[in-house]
């Protein structure tokens, strides 16, 4: 019955690993898989109270996963709020997430937003899930200097809402978007952006 023990250890390890995830959707998916493995393990050993518990936990995870996936296509899930470049809360947000921002945007200085740049907070209810900093590069080009999303919301495509559905750029007369140069692990290709050197670009209709 070594394989049964291996199954139990694998489920337990995955359960613990799921609790270390900052991303909510990833946590729910991994936790669901762990619960299904442990359901099978406990059923083999006829430990029915643990089977019942893991079945209930699996159902709870499925409910949350369905709810979280529904938010991906919900246009009312996010809101973009413009704030002043020297806004106190903006500075606080950039300071709190400075280390994480530096990993993905090594060229961006979190100490201040540059002159001539506009800053926008991406909100999910009363929670700030990201920040976008844009500079008018002239000729209808919006140069994005920062497009940061907190780890918790990186599975929910707030960037798609910002660039495609929020009206942030078209409402300000921009005809083209140029993404931050040198961004680590960019996601713009799946939004239809084209590679332009170490940046990505898209034309707005």
- Residues 158 and 12: their CA atoms lie apart, in Å, by 32
pLDDT tens for the chain, residues 1 to 205: 889 999 999 999 999 999 998 888 889 999 999 999 999 999 999 999 999 999 999 999 999 998 888 776 666 778 889 899 889 999 999 999 999 999 999 888 877 777 788 899 999 888 899 999 999 988 899 999 999 999 888 877 777 788 877 788 888 889 999 998 888 888 888 888 999 888 999 998 6
pLDDT of residue 28: 93
Q: Please give the Cα distance from 132 to 165 (Å, whole number).
A: 15
Q: Is the pTM of this model over 0.85?
A: no
Q: What pLDDT is recorded for position 178?
A: 92
Nearest to 101 by CA among 151, 65, 139, 143: 151
pLDDT (0 to 100) of residue 159? 77
């Amino acid at each position: 019955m070594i394989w049964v023990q291996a199954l139990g250890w694998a489920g337990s390890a995955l359960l613990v690993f799921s609790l270390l995830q900052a991303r909510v959707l990833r946590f729910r998916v991994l936790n669901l898989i762990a619960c299904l493995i442990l359901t099978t393990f406990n059923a083999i050993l006829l430990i029915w109270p643990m089977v019942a518990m893991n079945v209930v936990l699996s159902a709870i995870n499925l409910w949350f996963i369905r709810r979280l996936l529904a938010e991906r296509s919900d246009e009312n899930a996010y809101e973009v709020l413009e704030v002043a470049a020297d806004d106190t809360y903006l500075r606080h947000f950039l300071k709190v997430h400075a280390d994480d921002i530096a990993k993905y945007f090594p060229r961006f200085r979190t100490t201040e937003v540059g002159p001539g740049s506009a800053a926008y907070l991406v909100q999910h209810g009363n929670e700030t899930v990201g920040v976008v900093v844009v500079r008018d590069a002239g000729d209808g080009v919006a140069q994005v200097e920062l497009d940061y999303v907190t780890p918790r919301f990186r599975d929910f495509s707030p960037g798609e809402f910002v660039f495609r559905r929020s009206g942030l750029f078209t409402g300000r007369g921009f005809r083209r978007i140029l993404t931050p140069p040198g961004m680590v692990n960019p996601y713009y290709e799946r939004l239809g952006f084209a590679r332009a050197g170490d940046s990505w670009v898209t034309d707005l209709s």
